[in-house]
Each structure stands twice: as structure tokens, then as C-alpha cells.
Amino acid sequence: MKIIVPLENKSLDAPVCPSFGRTPLFVLFDTEKETEEFLNNEAAASQGGAGIKAAQMLVDNGAKAVITYRLGENAAQVLNAANIEIYKAQDGTVKDNIEKFKEGKLSLLTEIHPGFHNHGGGGK
Amino acid sequence: MRIAVLSGKGGTGKTFVSVNLACAAEKAVYVDCDVEEPNGHLFLKPCITECTSVKVIVPKVDPAKCIGCRTCVGFCKYNALAYIKDRVMIFNELCHSCNGCILLCPQKALKQTEREIGLIEEGSSDNVSVLTGKLNTGEVSGVPIIKGLMKKLPSHGTTIIDCPPGSACVVMESIRKADFCVLVAEPTLFGEHNLSMVYDLVKLFDKPFGVVLNKCLEEENPSEQFCKKNNINILTKIPFDENLGKLNSEGLIVVREIKSYHELFRKLLEVI
């Protein structure tokens, strides 16, 4: 199964990026093959709708689950339409989160925020 | 003459200055472009004679015609479209009505539909004709409503345009057709900063302008110092006066209640 996580640099030891739509990078991790692939987030520079574009890329790359701190409502609509599971990230590295996901210790993300629409949203 | 009243932030006194300028004129048109929270009507209490819906064009997909080429998704700069599970998803609130997706669709699977985002009310209050733009709750951009208001501006006579706060697109749209800009400023450092933002904007638009210093106290006024430093014309100073606050809170119009303020606003009109 392929899962995807937003992160700030190309290392599984990096923390999960607090932003979904405007994260600089995603890592696509294959839990069966234990392989990873880093994807640049082209949506990060969008004027608007970054979450939608990022979600589209996740779907196109065959991800079945996402681990993120938070998600805007538009991105959630895209991921839901594609039946992608959305999990709430926990503090720690991307690697920690992937391990917890494999052990079934992550809970589903239930809080969907209405989107920042270019009005900030710095911390997590 | 079309006079736009603007300020870098809310609560500075745009509506106060706009409404009183309009009422101090013999005859005027007051246009409320603060479409997210129009409040001039609370003072003017116009008798509404006409109400027009403001609509924007958004695309609608015919799934039977769509072949999933994603031309529309790739084209949209605002990411208002996605293609998931063999279907186009459309996010109406992100659409800027450019029509590009509809024009480019090789299958002609997208067509125009209309969506209401707000309305324009027209009415009158004694000597003042009132135009109010109202954006529906939850909508992202008031620009189409302001464009609608601009189409209704009279070509002559005194028109007062009450702008939204700040210096973003909605303000640019509101001052585009103005002959003169009145910048309202508070006597604080924050007020000075906000004044500098709208000052930059009116210079960029090459509009004649002047400043109204509102809520003035005896103490030093950073906004006044900013005007002096930049050789900006100070049109008038309005004192910090509890009576004004009281009348405002009761929804009363100051120039219709206190003679000295009627004088002040008459003079302000003359100066402009």
C-alpha cells in the first residue's frame, strides 16, 4: 500500500510538514516494498487552490492513505472522492509516523479546517 | 465628481466620512463597496426601490461528453478543477469566471452556468441615492459585485464611494473610476502604517488624493507626521468626540444632527 506524507526535506528523519497544500515535498512510501519516493509539490506556488492541486497529485501517484497534521476542506473533498484514507500525524519524524501507521496506531483525521486561502496558517 | 473614501484598515471612519459627505452635499449618490459588511445603510436607512442579483459564470461538466483529457484541470491557474475517479470536480468558489476551461475543452463537455454571489440594492434617503453591494456569506471575492456597482455610477453630480478596508483587489476595483481619493487615518502608529499602504495604492493609481485625520487628540499624531513628511495634503481634522461615537452608535447621521459638523463636512466637500 502506498501512503503519502508532507515533509520539509528529503529524509524520512524529517518532521511531518505542518502544511498540506503548501508543503515543499511529499514522500510516497510503499509499505510492502519498503521503498520511498520524494515528490516535489508543484502546488506550493499556486495563487490559490494549492490543496486541490496537491491532492490531485497524490491521487495520480496512486496513494491510498495520507498522514498529515491538517487538511483544508477542498483538499479533503478531493481525497474523499478518491477514497483516500486521511490519518492525523503525530509529533515526531516521518519515519515514526509511518511505523505507527503500520502498527495501526494512527487515528483518522476528523478536523477539517475551512482553508487558509492565502491568509497565513504558519504553525501546526 | 466621484470621491472614493478608503483606509488601510477597518474602523478608521470610512463609512462615517462617506455617509456624512454624501449627506452634506445638496444631492449625492452614496455607493457602499464594502460588500463583505456594508453598513452605510444602517445610517442612511434608504427606502429600497430596486434589488438586482449579481451572478458569475462557472463551468458545468457533462460527464457523458468528458473523455478525461484534463485540459481544463491543467489550464486552471486557480486550481478550481480536479479530475478524480473519471470525473471532473469543480470548486465554484475558486473559479474566477475566465471561461478558459470552457473554451479549451476539445469535447465541448463544459458549458457556462450562472451562480448568484450577492446583490445590489438601490434606494434613497432624503437627498442621497444609495447603492449597496452585498456579498453572500461564505463567498470568497466581492470583485464582481463592485464591478456591478461601478456600472451603475452616474456620470455627473457628487458620488461618494465607500471602499472596503485595506489595499487589495476589492479596493483597487472600488477606486478605479474615482476622480479623487480621501484617505481616512487614525492618530496611532498602527494608523500611520495603514495610511502608508493606501498612500502607496493611490500613488500607483495616479489619483489625486488628500487625507482626513480622524479621532484627533491633543497628543502627537503619527499619521499627521506621516503626511507632513510626505507633503500630503491634509483635508481636514475631525476631533475625538464622544458625541460622534454616541450618535454613530444610535445609527444617526452627524451632519443631520449637529450644525458644526455639517459645516465641517460642507467645507471638506468644497476643499475636495
| The total number of structural domains that make up chain B | 2
Classified by CATH at the fold level, domain A2-102 comes out as Nucleotidyltransferase; domain 5 (3.30.420)
- The percentage of residues in chain B with a pLDDT greater than 70, rounded to a whole number, is 100
- What's the ipTM? 0.85
Judge whether B256 lies within some domain.
yes
pLDDT of residue B140: 82
pLDDT of residue A119: 52
3-state secondary structure of B166: coil
Interface residues from chain B to A (CB-CB < 8 Å):
73, 76-80, 82-85, 87, 89, 91, 94, 140
Which one of B73, B75, B79 would you mutate to disrupt binding with A, by most A Cβ within 10 Å of its Cβ?
B79
Whether residue B27 contacts residue B126, with contact meaning beta carbons closer than 8 Å, is answered with: no
pLDDT of residue A9: 93
Domain of B70, CATH number, reads 3.30.70.20
CA distance B92 to B101: 13
Q: Does B160 have pLDDT greater than 70?
A: yes
Same domain, B30 and B147: yes
Domain of B177, CATH number, reads 3.40.50.300
Q: Does A121 have pLDDT greater than 50?
A: no
3-state secondary structure of A88: strand
For range B54-83, the mean pLDDT = 95
Are the Cβ atoms of A59 and B84 closer than 8 angstroms? yes
B183-196 pLDDT tens trace: 999 999 999 999 99
pLDDT of residue B193: 95
Are the Cβ atoms of A81 and B89 closer than 8 angstroms? yes
pLDDT of residue A116: 65
Q: Does A85 have pLDDT greater than 60?
A: yes
pLDDT of residue B138: 85
Q: Does A124 have pLDDT greater than 50?
A: no
Same domain, B48 and B125: yes
CB neighbour burial string for A23-35, b if at least 16 within 10 angstroms, e if fewer: bebbbbbeeeeee
Question: Does A10 contact chain B (CB < 8 Å)?
Answer: no
For range A12-27, the mean pLDDT = 95
Nearest CB among B84, B85, B91 relative to A49 is that of: B91
Judge whether B227 lies within some domain.
yes
Nearest to A48 by CA among B141, B61, B36: B141
Residue A122 banded pLDDT, cuts 50, 70, 90 = very low
A39-73 pLDDT tens trace: 999 999 988 899 999 999 999 999 999 999 999 99
Are the Cβ atoms of B84 and A82 closer than 8 angstroms? yes
The region of weakest confidence among B131-135, B136-140, B155-159 is B136-140
Distance from CA of A13 to the nearest CA of B (A): 31
CB neighbour burial string for B48-79, b if at least 16 within 10 angstroms, e if fewer: eeeeeebbbbbbebeeeebeeeebbbeebebb
| Mean pLDDT of chain A, nearest integer | 90
Nearest CB among B77, B87, B91 relative to A47 is that of: B77
B201-234 pLDDT tens trace: 999 999 999 999 999 998 999 999 999 999 999 9
Q: Does B14 have pLDDT greater than 60?
A: yes
Judge whether B113 lies within some domain.
no
Same domain, B207 and B76: no
| Mean pLDDT of chain B, nearest integer | 95
**Domain that includes residue B210, residue range:** 2-54+118-271
pLDDT of residue B42: 96
